[in-house]
Structure 1
């Protein structure tokens, strides 16, 4: 590996560069970002060796795109048009259907791996980059059958070296399911934050009363609108479906309270507690941690 290009030097791209460097010690890491301040900071932090241009694509052995999903289709086509025949290209975008369709007939489609590492924090920018961000996380790969075997293997080796579990999925199925388990969570957090901020205008001490439950629930409201607005736009159909179900359940909960159906509410919440058994089977979630692991924290 001689040259690795990371396009997008925020949390995802910066963290990837940080953890990929030891895996490719001889490689030159070249960075690109729409924000010059991100580029400068990424060099200062040693995440990349230098800032590149489009002229670097034809010399790259690997290109990773970690940019907002609305910019991904055009950027991906630009990269695929420029790379040589042995270059592996993959991305970290959290929507996949439109992207896979856009690249469907590209002559170098076999060099692309449509990946979605399910990892991240609410923080942004190169300063947010952390080691081990992807360790123990799931990486969804879509349309793996469209990627050439050599490129599949190179990507698989990298993902496993980063400590990720790999799952394969149809892009449409991916986009629908991720709307429920990720995109809806962010909307809920944003709206909870909005609701409490309106109350805070008249009750200055409300945040002093907020406990860890509020903090953990509203944490995602600190996420970047520049990243999440394009996600909601690209995956709007699936997000609207998830949002419709969520609003329906909230309305039903509200109605039970208005009608003082406390036994029904108790029974419903007790039933929903069954999600504990699901979460306990997912590695990396708090519910899946052993008692000894929790005590060490």
Structure 2
């Protein structure tokens, strides 16, 4: 199979590495508007060829759209305009608007809307590595709008990446993503801004940072080019989650200000229940 990857960042490049090494793809064609990324992916052996969009689509059996969601909203209809029997899948973190954009497209059944739940705070082809997706979940949304052939191809692809597949509609996906992914990044970024503001006046504060701080603030290193569009496209759900999150912060603040040790202990104990979910 010939796979064309549009967008040679962390996700697209990591997929390319394992799809080739594990035998799903015989040839990987890369497309990226960033010439430095394209050249790096070629030099690193992540892709076999770099092509322009039209040629890369024409030669592919499967096209993976691994660009930021705002770019994907523009590109996806154009990709579907150019295909014949090829299958197309995206890997965007928000699905509602993207699926709506192509709902009436004549090639809609050739498209599978997916979100592999994996990643790091790093970006670009040099950040890519084998095994990024192993053991993780991937979401396929609005599967009823895709053909059986397209679904089976994408299912086989994700099985090759050792991912478990979950099906849901785009609306539910965007709500869940806001709670388990998007708010985590905002929390990390807000903490980073808080510490950086303090650092202006107390230069040694970061010398005290330990593993807990590092793990909590790690996501603040994620690129704005990827995350700003995600927050914009899922703004309604993200705003709802933020309201709830701020509510809990205010509850913690009041308990601490009031020196209410009983309430503080209860809040911590309640939060510890997340272990039941994470340790399943």
> What displacement does 1:31 show?
0.7
The correspondence of residues 199-278 of structure 1 with structure 2, limited to 5 A, is: 199-278=198-277
| Equivalent residue pairs, number | 279
Whether the aligned pair in 1 keeps the contact of 2:3 and 2:25 (CA below 8 Å) is no
Q: Is the 8 A contact 2:3 2:29 kept in 1?
A: yes
The residue that corresponds to 2:77 in the other structure is 77
Q: Distance in 1 between matches of 2:154 and 2:91?
A: 12
**Residue equivalent to 2:170:** 171
Q: Post-superposition shift, 1:54?
A: 2.3
* Cα deviation, residue 200, structure 1: 1.4
The answer to whether structure 1 residue 58 and structure 2 residue 58 are counterparts is: yes
Shift of residue 198, structure 1, vs aligned partner:
1.2
Distance 2:76 2:253 in 1: 45
Separation in 2 of the partners of 1:135 and 1:168? Answer: 18
Distance 1:279 1:25 in 2: 31
Task: Check 1:239–1:123 CA distance in 2 against 1; reply closer, same or farther (3 A cut).
Answer: same
**Alignment-derived partner of residue 124 in structure 1:** 123
What residue in structure 1 maps to residue 68 of structure 2? 68
Matched with 2:140 is 141
Decide whether the 8 Å contact of 2:134 with 2:163 is kept in 1. yes
Q: TM-score, normalised by structure 2?
A: 0.97
Gaps of 5+ in 2: none
Instruction: Show the 5 A alignment for 1:82-121.
Output: 82-85=82-85, 87-121=86-120
Matched, 1:9 2:8: yes
1:131-169 deviation per Cα after TM superposition (whole angstroms, max 9, x unaligned): 000110100000111111111111111101110000001
Question: Is contact 2:24–2:157 with CA below 8 Å preserved after alignment?
Answer: no
Q: CA RMSD in A?
A: 1.1
Counterparts of 1:222 and 1:65, CA distance in 2? 23
Q: State the Cα deviation string for residues 222-251 of structure 1 (Å, max 9, x = none).
A: 000010000000000000000111011101
- The alignment partner of 1:9 has SS state of coil
- C-alpha distance in 2 between matches for 1:183 and 1:265: 26
Structure 2: how far apart are the matches of 1:125 and 1:59?
24
3-state DSSP of counterpart to 2:201 = coil
Q: Secondary structure at the match of 1:95?
A: coil
Per-residue CA deviation, residues 263-286 of structure 1 (Å, 9 max, x unaligned), is: 1110121122111011111xxxxx
Partner of 1:289: none
Distance 1:131 1:219 in 2: 21
The worse-fitting range, judged by mean Cα deviation, of 53-62 and 107-116 is 53-62
* Aligned structure 1 segments of 4 or more residues deviating by more than 6 angstroms: none
Cα distance in 1 between the residues matched to 2:76 and 2:247: 38
How far is 1:25 from its partner? 7.0
